[in-house]
Chain A
Amino acid sequence: MSDLGLTEEQIQRYSRHILLAEVGGEGQQELLASSALVVGAGGLGSPALLYLAAAGVGRLGVADGGIVELSNLQRQIIHGTSDVGRNKVLSAEAAITEINPDCQVEVFHERLITKNISQVIRGYDVVLDGSDNFPTRFLVNDCCWFEKIPLVSAAVLRFEGQLMTVLPGEGNPCYRCFIPEPPPPGLVPSCQEAGVLGAVVGVIGTLQAVEALKILLGIGTIMSHHLVVYDAIQCQFARLKRAPDPACPLCGATRTITELVEYDFTCTTDMERGENGEGITSGA
């Protein structure tokens, strides 16, 4: 051990972090002592997990109930061809361990529901949501809000990416301030695999990792009062202001949501496969 509290090997491994004034040996130690949960080991979760692992986040949780499919590989870069058919969480765990043995991985091969989510989320320093459906997004937002855990939420559709960070506590807008309820009943959006340029998901998933690392290090401007919209076609980033909505059902003055609520999870992919939801799947 050096006086940085890092082994020789760690000093080499993280030297490019240590050289940054904003990180340094101390920041690196903080990362090694910190934890992050990634919901969805799909298109967004893949780059996020890879960078968090490489950065030396000491404990990484991966929650995904899905199995690697060939059509995932165009964007879900944590998985490889030989992983097809394997549980996504196990495939992700193997990739993370290969990149950085400093990372302790916790896998949750299950769909997050009201019954299990608090147990899964509790104790993490930051949560990254890369799920591909509204019911999970609302559940993750509400749970992080109740558990007071920062959340980096992102989504991609076609060539557009959206990203926001939700910091717990008064004065910070939550995900429901942006959209208070899932779209009207009976019409919960499908988790159908859809057209998306893989690299666009990579940009946004990587941004999520950057936000999470900034939160863990306590540096920089967090997107807690902005929505970042990335338009890949025009190569434009917009940073739109967000503020708490006084009418928000979760964080507003007249809040109506005081415990976790579950929304119907109907999904075209499920219907076509004729099986129960694989839950958190592709992350776009």
Chain B
Amino acid sequence: MFRIIKKSLTIGVVTGQYQKGGTPAVPVVPEVKKKAGLFKRSFAIREVDTGSCNACEMEMNALMNPVYDAEQFGIHIAASPRHADALIVTGPVTVNMERALKDAHKQTPDPKLVIALGDCAIHCGMFKGCYAVTGPVERHIPVDVRIPGCPPRPADILEALSELRKGRP
């Protein structure tokens, strides 16, 4: 018990100990900002992996660690698309995942945002044109925000997500 408390005390607060502002924030169109403004300070995200290499997932996971601590901005991960305000999609859409992605999108209540995370989700990256890949996310569902990078750094993802909700009324 004392050991745990001592550990926590000696470590202190690590949140925010990362390099900020590497790349300029992703531009967000005003309509999307307006839509995002609805979610105020609570923003539930469902992550859908449609064929990524899992580095994008790792960075999403990193977002939840104490260093980035996305929860402090009201961003949390919903267990089901039905509880989500936004879908974050990673990876090119493979032939096998196409249906699952469309289903998840249908199950997410309106109004919703779709965020394409990583180069694969935006333009298929290295997997463009392959028989097993049907195309980028926007071929199947409308995409509101694109966060480029392979994989994007957690700092960039966080930056983009806060940029998104800056216009909140």
Query: Do A and B originate from a single complex?
Result: no
A-side residues, CB < 8 A to B, are none
List residues of B whose CB falls within 8 A of some A CB: none
